[in-house]
Amino acid sequence: MKELETICKIALIQATPVMFDKTAGLKKALQLIDTCAAKGAKLIVFPELFIPGYPFGLTFGFRVGSRSEKGREDWKTYYDNSLLSDGPEMQEIIDRAKKYGVYLSLGYSEKDAVTGTLYNSNLMIAPDGQALNHRKIKPTGSERVVWGDGNQDYFPVTETPWGPMGNLICWESYMPLARVALYQQGISLYISPNTNDNPEWQDTIRHIALEGRCYFINADMVFGRKDYPQTVSGEAEIAALPDLVCRGGSCIIDPYGHPVTEVLWDKEGILYADLDMQQVPASRMEFDPCGHYSRPDLLQLTVKKG
């Protein structure tokens, strides 16, 4: 492994998105970046779909074999508030990263520049403005009526002073071969932007940190019924939701499966930590999943680039 900077100063943001409002969501994201940079963070991580929010519980009027015009109207509102990966809103985020000389990871709903398809995406931004996009390769369950299967930008990895950094979005981390696609690139920082507040997930993230011998950055969000916008098709669906829809659970796990931070539940907050990056190569002494503990003569993974 390359020589790494010893300490990664990270800020992990657990915040409530401004639902269906990209302008207000962008303003909040920029303010949070300002706050984290002022505290000395060099890596700033946002949760899944921070702009323009995760529409948990909404069906947009879809039924098997039918759909409603009111639902289509709400979907179009969500579409209008999704971002182009190279659009003006994202450029403001990139410019802020350049201003502070920080690395950023931002989950967002991506609007394709050519087609009418949305993608659940995550952008990793370097201090020089270079950005790598990842589209979730398989939206989970009913997410498929909102976002398409990722058709490019599969497993990008950003080189950082602390080692390679990659991400998988929410339940992508349940896909064993997707994890290996990152491990094969030697990642030290595994970012998981997600909306997964069930207790079993906390067991999963410890397993992945141990399996990958990397820092697992669990980036969740917190939001409630009151945070939803007015809709034309979803009022009954929103009314049926609990007061607190997503509890969060953001945290960081070290390469041995141990917590580096508290697990943040039920509120907005920023978790700051100094990650000892020497723990990554040290942890691989007896187990390196794609190195000395692998058997490429027996098992190989071929990954399509895109």
Name the residues annotated as catalytic.
48, 136, 170
**Taking the alpha carbons of 275, 257, 54, 153 in that order, is the dihedral positive or negative?**
positive
Q: Helices 176-183 and 199-212 sit at what angle, rounded to 10 degrees?
A: 40
Helices (H), 172-278: 176-183, 199-212, 235-239
Helices (H), 134-234: 176-183, 199-212
Neighbour count for residue 301 (Cβ, 10 Å): 14
Verify cis geometry, omega within 30 degrees of 0, for the bond prior to 52.
yes
Helices (H), 59-126: 69-80, 88-100
Neighbour count for residue 23 (Cβ, 10 Å): 12
Residues in the chain, total: 306
H or E segment and range at residue 86: none
Quote the Cα angle for 86-91-96, to 5°: 150
CA distance 278 to 256: 12
- Both tokens of 294, joined, read 């692998």
Residue with structure tokens 């000389």?
A: 101
At a CB cut-off of 8 Å and minimum separation 6, what does 287 contact? 213, 293
| Strand 264-265, strand 244-253: pairing | antiparallel
Q: What is the DSSP letter of 143?
A: G
Neighbour count for residue 38 (Cβ, 10 Å): 9
